[in-house]
Amino acid sequence: MSRLFFREALCRAMAEEMERDSRVILMGQDIAAHGGSYAETRGLFERFGPARVRNTPVAEAVTVGLAAGAAAAGLRPLAFITYLDFLMLGLDALVNYAAKLRFKSAGQLTSPMVVKATAGAKGQGPTHAQSLEPWLMNVPGLTVLAPSTAGDAYGMLKTALRAPGPVVFIDHKKLFPRGGSVPDTEELVPVGSAAIRREGKHLTIVAHSYMSVLALEAATALAAEGIEAEVIDLRSLAPIDWETLTTSARRTGHALFVEEGQVVCGVGAELAFGLRERLSSLRVARLGAKRAPVAPSPVLESFIVPDAKDIEQSARDLLLANVKNGTHRTGKEET
């Protein structure tokens, strides 16, 4: 294992896959000579040249549309969307064309493209901070992956670049300043496999992306109080690893779903309901952002978006059966 920055893990995955498969091309804003908005493509332009590492204009609809077309024509494009918020402009090409191409063409055409987009709140205000993963989970034909560690970023981006259909690969601004262990030899993370990050017997905390990092912090603090939380990092949002979730929740009897985005029709809504269909006596709770846009003020941002303390409190509330109706809880207590 080597310790790498998150961006270096992504870069290594791209370089290896570009070396392995000449159909893999990169397209996005500032990814060529500049080396990427998060420095994640540093060195790739010099190594693979302008035909395979292409700058695009600030026009996400065009970028995703071109990627969908290039994929249908036989390439394996990776399109970069610097802020997940702006994937909205490319949703038509992604949802109506790429995700449905195999179905519409009776399997004659496929669209093996990857959209890499960066989600999450980090001081940049309401339209550069959203976590819109549930919108994408809802679309049949889309695979949605969201790593929380450098090692998974490496293994999951490689998997995405070999997938038969369109994949949305979602990372998070707060993951980039972190380092993590990356295997020295090639290791792929299969689609649909969640990871148990910490074992525990009292409740299951389910999170993805940066919230997995915070859930682990919360679990450490809860352990000091005698509460043993099992932390599951979803990694794959579509498809969901129901087996891992069900096995854990059956054992603990309590499941807390944590996400950075809105709880209304959110990841937790889907998972909580899906698990209750499988385990009818399961006690569940959700934690997500308050019902407001993410504010640019750091004070308001941290008020709106859940932190480790909120996760701890939601876990205590769930175990104390303080959650009204056993299903609903939005963000920090509104006062």
The answer to whether the bond into 112 is cis (omega within 30° of 0) is no
| Binds other proteins by CB under 8 A, chosen from 3, 20, 104, 291 | 3
Catalytic residue at 128? yes
| Binds other proteins by CB under 8 A, chosen from 17, 24, 27, 38 | 38
The reply to whether 257 sits near other proteins by the rule CB under 8 A is no
Q: CB-wise, 3 or 47, nearer to other proteins?
A: 3
Residues written for the chain: 335
Q: CB-wise, 95 or 150, nearer to other proteins?
A: 150
Active-site entry in 8, 17, 60, 301: 60
Q: CB-wise, 39 or 196, nearer to other proteins?
A: 39
Count CA within 13 A, CB hemisphere, residue 126: 5
Segment interacting with other proteins, rule: CB under 8 A, options 98-106, 174-182, 262-270, 279-287: 174-182
The reply to whether 39 sits near other proteins by the rule CB under 8 A is yes
The reply to whether 221 sits near other proteins by the rule CB under 8 A is no
The reply to whether 34 sits near other proteins by the rule CB under 8 A is no
The reply to whether 50 sits near other proteins by the rule CB under 8 A is no
Distance, CA of 17 to CA of 161 (rounded, Å) = 7
Nearest residue to 189 (alpha-carbon basis) of 235, 238, 136:
235
Distance, CA of 31 to CA of 41 (rounded, Å) = 6
Segment interacting with other proteins, rule: CB under 8 A, options 176-184, 188-196, 238-246, 288-296: 176-184
We find the least distance from the C-beta atom of residue 174 to other proteins, in angstroms, to be 9
Window 177 to 196, contacts with other proteins (CB under 8 A): 177-179
The reply to whether 5 sits near other proteins by the rule CB under 8 A is yes
Q: Is the distance from CB of 291 to CB of 330 less than 8 angstroms? A: yes
Query: Which residues sit opposite 293 in a β-bridge?
Result: none
The reply to whether 42 sits near other proteins by the rule CB under 8 A is no
Window 69 to 108, contacts with other proteins (CB under 8 A): none
We find the least distance from the C-beta atom of residue 38 to other proteins, in angstroms, to be 7
Segment interacting with other proteins, rule: CB under 8 A, options 5-13, 159-167, 254-262, 302-310: 5-13
Query: Which residues sit opposite 254 in a β-bridge?
Result: 283
Active-site entry in 17, 40, 128, 202: 128
Number of residues interacting with other proteins: please give it, by CB under 8 A: 10
The reply to whether 7 sits near other proteins by the rule CB under 8 A is yes
The reply to whether 176 sits near other proteins by the rule CB under 8 A is yes
Catalytic residue positions?
Answer: 60, 128
Binding site for other proteins (CB under 8 A): 3, 5-7, 38-39, 176-179
